Amino acid sequence: MNQPRNRIVFRKQYIVDSRIQFRLLAIVLVSAVANILIFSGYLAYLIYNFNSNLNLMTTVPSNEKMQLITFAKSMLREIYFISSALSLMIVFYVIAYSNRFAGPVFSMTRTLKDHLAGKTDRRIRIRKNDYFQELAMVINQVLDKHEGLMKEKAGKTVEDLSSSSKQSEDKN
């Protein structure tokens, strides 16, 4: 009936509730992209002003001006590269992190649907670091109690049927 509690449970898939997980991912990515765009736009503005001000300066030799402009542009490329790498890391982190709450919700929903379908031996199993540990435990207790009540009711029904059949035989 009950699954062993000390068994390690591994999730087979990381996208278990795409609606929740992708919504969270979209929020995080929009925030990250907005920050990247604001930061890189400000940096581009600085480079543009730097370039304009550099052209106004007559005492700086032109080869040094070109070196400074090239350096500023390479900095901008590096920032875009680092931002892209960080964005990918954020995507993987959000998917893994969101799995800690989307996975238990998915498991609870599946177990309750199975219970409604008549598979009353199923229980909620979630990983040690997942959220909603207490909720899963309470739902499992409710399912255990419900299963016990159903067995008790089934036992009484069998007893009632056997006693009523004996009474009908006695009358004949």
Tens-place pLDDT, residues 105-121? 888 999 999 988 988 88
Contact 54, 68 (CB under 8 A): yes
The overall pTM is greater than 0.75: no
Q: How confident is the model at residue 57 (pLDDT cuts 50, 70, 90)?
A: low
For 7, residues 6+ apart whose C-beta sits below 8 A from its C-beta are 125
Identity of the highest mean pLDDT range in 30-34, 80-84, 137-141, 159-163: 137-141
Measure the CA–CA gap between 55 and 63, rounded to whole angstroms. 12
